[in-house]
Amino acid sequence: MSRELNPPMGSPVPGVSERPPDNGGMDYRDWVRRSYLELVSSNHHSAQALSWRKLYLSRAKLKASSRTSALLSGFAMVAMVEVELDTEYSYSRELLIAFSVCTTVLVAVHLFALLISTCILPNVEAVSNIHNLNSVSESPHERMHHYIELAWGFSTALGIVLFLAEVVLLCWVKFLPVDAGGAKGTGDCDAAAAPGNQTQPTHAPASNSGWQAAVASTIIMIPVIVVFLVFTVKFYRSLVRHKTERHHQEIEELHKIKVQLDGQERGLQSV
């Protein structure tokens, strides 16, 4: 581009008669016109390249969202179906409600992200396989940008946090009845209510191994969730900062091109 903006050796100056230059018979006006057309053409190709980069980025996000959502929602469904609740143990009502709500929300979030990916991805794939620069306008990734970002956020950010919470709740549901011999169901409660029998505790004491295992899993998972949230925030801030700096750089380049074109236009008018 810098080579094209250099004026030819035979360009006229104010007060000097115009004569044909030695490089192909192109005078100053033709050179300015050609330079302007090439700059417009290069900007058009740059805009198309930017659209293609956005298309490939959207396709990669949709693929990652679909795979992650299918995997984690499958794990959540298996955890819900395969978990075996101890019928002789009196679970806390809050624990059961939290486990069912977390599992349901987790599956719903990932299935919603999977639905968006399944609906948009084929249309993006069909355009990305066409080796034509002008076909990028046929892709719906620009119009569906907000849905793509929503699926990406549900699958990677919210979905993973819910999955980590699901692991913690599953550990409590699975390990809490272990060594909880005093916590029985309704039959043992009736027996305990009989004359001469002492009332049995309804929850596991803090000394049994199941309660300790559940607490250990919670202690391990809390720092993992914190690290995940910190990494997510820092990653997105760094990504936004990179995009902002890149946009500022492009604006400065466009401003330099405008200044050069204005200078050449003033020189042409003075001629």
Residue 87's pLDDT is 81
The upper half-sphere exposure of residue 156, i.e. CA atoms within 13 Å in the direction of its Cβ, equals 16
Residue 203's pLDDT is 52
Q: Does the structure show a pLDDT above 50 at 14?
A: no
13 neighbors 7 (Cβ within 8 angstroms): no
Sign of the alpha-carbon dihedral angle for 151, 156, 158, 162? positive
Instruction: Report the candidate in 231, 249, 51 with the shortest Cα–Cα distance to residue 145.
Output: 51
Query: What is the mean pLDDT of the segment spanning 108-123?
Result: 92
Query: What is the mean pLDDT of the segment spanning 123-139?
Result: 77
Query: What is the mean pLDDT of the segment spanning 198-222?
Result: 74
For 217-230, the pLDDT digits (tens) are 999 999 999 999 99
Confidence of residue 196 (pLDDT cuts 50, 70, 90): very low
37 neighbors 54 (Cβ within 8 angstroms): no
For 53-106, the pLDDT digits (tens) are 888 888 899 999 999 999 999 998 888 888 888 888 888 899 999 999 999 999
User: Which DSSP letter does residue 84 get?
Assistant: -
Query: What is the mean pLDDT of the segment spanning 201-215?
Result: 71
Q: Which residues of 46-66 are buried (b: 16+ CB within 10 A; e: fewer)?
A: eeeeebbebbeebbebbeebb
CA distances from 64 to 155, 240, 261, 269 (A): 8, 20, 44, 56
Phi/psi at 142 (nearest 5 deg)?
-70, -45
Integer distance in angstroms from the first to the last C-alpha of the chain? Answer: 24
152 neighbors 64 (Cβ within 8 angstroms): yes
Q: Does the structure show a pLDDT above 80 at 270?
A: no
Residue 27's pLDDT is 61
Residue scoring higher pLDDT (139 or 168): 168
Residue 252's pLDDT is 83
Confidence of residue 209 (pLDDT cuts 50, 70, 90): confident
Return d(Cα 158, Cα 62) in angstroms, integer: 16
Q: Does the structure show a pLDDT above 70 at 23?
A: no
Confidence of residue 185 (pLDDT cuts 50, 70, 90): very low
Q: Does the structure show a pLDDT above 70 at 121?
A: yes
